[in-house]
Structure 1
Amino acid sequence: MSTLASNEKAFIAENSSLKNENRVFKFTIEQLDYYNDSILEKMNEVRKELDIKDKNLKQMQYLLSDAQRKDSIIFRDTLFKEPTLNLDTIIGDKWYQMKLGLRYPSTIITEPKFVSEKYIMVDYKKETINPPRKCWLLRLFQKKHTILKVNVVEKNPYIENKNSRFIEIIK
């Protein structure tokens, strides 16, 4: 019953006009496959691309963000001869857009925008603490520990992930 209440509060927070807090949804694998939410469907596709087994999946995350800035360049000399010049155009694709504006007599306005779409998948696997033995029977009795593996998939081809670090707090 607490899972139901937790998910209800997470849906309310997500659909609220106040976007200053995020809550964690709690779903089973069956529920993930059942719901028709577009973001959940994309997350499931990435999970299947990474070939993560259902039983090893710990957590899935989705981040969508964009960055943009507006700049104006004003020259002292006249650049454009036509006094009625007021040109606006957009150059780009799904991941990058450049709004370009030209104004009489000497103004150029640029507004670049980048969209970042990240999928973060956390799964685990058990590995032996010491190097694995050559004989499979002896490997069965070796001590094992759980290793968390984090996969970050950036869908924007223009963005390169340089560095990342993940820390698990243990109690």
Structure 2
Amino acid sequence: MPRSHPLPKIWLMTDARFGDDQLRAIQQLPARSGVVFRHYHLATQQRRVLFAQVLRICRRRGHILLLAGDARTALRWHADGFHQRSLGHSGLLHSAPVHNAREIAEVKQSRPDLVFLSPLFDTNSHPGAQPLGPLMFQRLAKLAGPRRIIALGGMTRQTAFMLGPRSIHGWAAIDAFGKKTA
């Protein structure tokens, strides 16, 4: 991915809960959105086949596609980048998931292009997990420094709008792109 290409502000996190609607949801994202491909539950070959399908859609729609995993696999699978808390200077786009101050301190060394900070609000992905809430989210975002922050966890277009562009670069979701809200 050329660094001159603007980083997406809207991201879809793939999830088994989408079922057969996963590909449709990716097709319906606004052009030049981002997709973080997860699907850890699949065997490697099945995961790679589904990734190839997602990759074709992303290329047609101008989406950025990150593989949740290491940089080496992301390169082999022709992803635009990887999503992992690691040192992976591959020339690929690098995003890192963080949930607390300790993880933010860890990822600062790897200088990711994006930091996905979660969970901001209650989320179906982690039922019963304590959300950060807006105040703690703001504190942690400041700790991350000049990194581009992507808000995750119970996010919708409306909640992202309430946070404002000074707080976050963008937002990511799963359920906001489901059947009823797409």
Normalising to structure 1: TM-score of the pair? 0.24
Structure with more relative contact order (C-alpha pairs < 8 Å, separation 6 or more): 2
In terms of fraction of residues, the more strand-rich structure is 1
Greater C-alpha Rg: 1
In terms of fraction of residues, the more helix-rich structure is 2
